[in-house]
């Protein structure tokens, strides 16, 4: 199965999907994320959505270079907490 995504490929030895990419500002380091998912249409869609999360985090300057937030099967870390600004400061 082939797609037109530069980041996602199928490991020829295992047949599982992997995400490989570089992020500007990280000394041209290549990041590698093993998904553990076999190459299928459904799994390509799942991996593509995770890739989009990584792209969004890079654009918002909140990329996690440890890749902990993006690991597959690590759903408890999928949500990034956002601090709420207090409105009470302006009312005092």
The model's pLDDT over 3-57, given as tens digits with 9 standing for 90+, comes to 568 999 999 999 999 999 999 988 889 999 999 999 999 999 999 999 999 999 9
Q: Which domain, by its residues, includes 17?
A: 8-75
Number of domains in the chain: 1
**Residue 92 within any structural domain of the chain:** no
Whether 87 maps to a domain, the answer reads no
CA separation for the pair 80, 84 (Å, rounded): 13
Q: What per-residue confidence (pLDDT) applies to 27?
A: 85
Q: Is residue 40 part of a domain?
A: yes
83 in any annotated domain: no
Residue 88 maps to a domain: no
Question: How confident is the model at residue 28, as a pLDDT?
Answer: 80
Considering the domain boundaries, does residue 28 fall inside one?
A: yes
Question: To which residue do tokens 């996602």 refer?
Answer: 8
Dist CA 12 CA 10 (whole Å)? 6
Say if 43 falls within a structural domain.
yes
To the nearest 10°, report the CA torsion of 75, 80, 81, 87. -150
Q: Is 70 exposed, middle or buried (0-12, 13-18, 19+ CB in 10 A)?
A: buried
């Amino acid at each position: 199965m082939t797609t037109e995504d530069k980041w996602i490929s199928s490991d020829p030895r295992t047949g599982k999907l992997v995400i490989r990419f570089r992020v500007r500002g990280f000394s041209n380091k290549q990041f590698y994320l093993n998904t553990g998912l076999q190459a299928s249409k459904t799994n390509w869609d799942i991996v593509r959505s995770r890739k989009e999360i990584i792209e969004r985090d890079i654009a918002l300057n909140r990329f996690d270079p440890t890749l902990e937030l993006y690991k597959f099967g690590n759903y408890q870390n999928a949500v990034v907490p956002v601090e709420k600004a207090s409105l009470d400061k302006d009312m005092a």
